[in-house]
Structure 1
Amino acid sequence: MTVSDSAQSIPWYSLLFGRGPDARPMDGLVEWHLADTFGVQVWVEPERAGTSCMVLDDDDLDARLQLLEGAGIENGGIRAASSSRILPVVDPDGNRIVFTGP
């Protein structure tokens, strides 16, 4: 995900994922390792900030919604989709994150 400011984005994504980053492999880049073979990178690239989108599978959207609301993260609420449910979120730069699940 491309962001404009790591000082603003790292705390926000830490709230989103319920913990701080797992790695900082280089200046301006942080990573959350969400599974053994999957993670999310957030990097500072102001000219492209707000143009990213990702979809993350979540086994428990109701628990995710509670986590988001408890952290004060605005969201679109859980919505029915054709074969699942979705929970859309927008980060401070305008990047779109969509959690999907049963």
Structure 2
Amino acid sequence: MSIARVLAQMTVSDLDTAEPWYAKLFGRAPDARPMPGLLEWHLADTFGVQVWAEPDRAGRCTMILDETDLDERMTHLDESDIAHGGPQNATSSRILMVLDPDGNRSVFTGAFT
């Protein structure tokens, strides 16, 4: 027995507001709509992100995404008009945090440059 796939889940209050924001974040439309109220972005064969409409729980999620090029990610965020505070140094990496319209945190991590 082993786990073969992981999907982070971001809970939002309104899917009509969240979908275009996450589409900008990931640079594309969702890969799947498995059921009403649920969107999925498949970022690789074994991991992805679900955006789930559940207003009572919205805004309480955090996902950490290890980025191959944090500076390129920052440029993408700037071009997509997604606000951020710039990269910050952490103990073993740099981090770049963004908040979706509900206040959910997406934290990109990358190597020191």
In structure 2, which of residues 42, 47, 50 is the aligned counterpart of residue 38 of structure 1?
47
Structure 1 residue aligned with 2:18: 9
Q: Structure 2 length as normaliser, TM-score?
A: 0.89
In structure 2, stretches of 5+ residues that fail to align are: 1-9
Distance in 1 between residues matched to 2:87 and 2:23, nearest whole Å: 21
1:1-102 matched pairs, under 5 angstroms: 1-102=10-111
The structural deviation recorded for 1:76 is 1.8
In structure 1, stretches of 5+ residues that fail to align are: none
Distance in 2 between residues matched to 1:76 and 1:99, nearest whole Å: 12
Q: Which runs of 4+ in 1 moved over 3 A?
A: none
Percent identical? 65
The structural deviation recorded for 1:101 is 1.0
Letter in structure 2 aligned against 1:18: G
Distance in 1 between residues matched to 2:36 and 2:70, nearest whole Å: 33
The structural deviation recorded for 1:8 is 0.4
Which protein is bigger by CA-based radius of gyration? 2
Letter in structure 2 aligned against 1:37: T
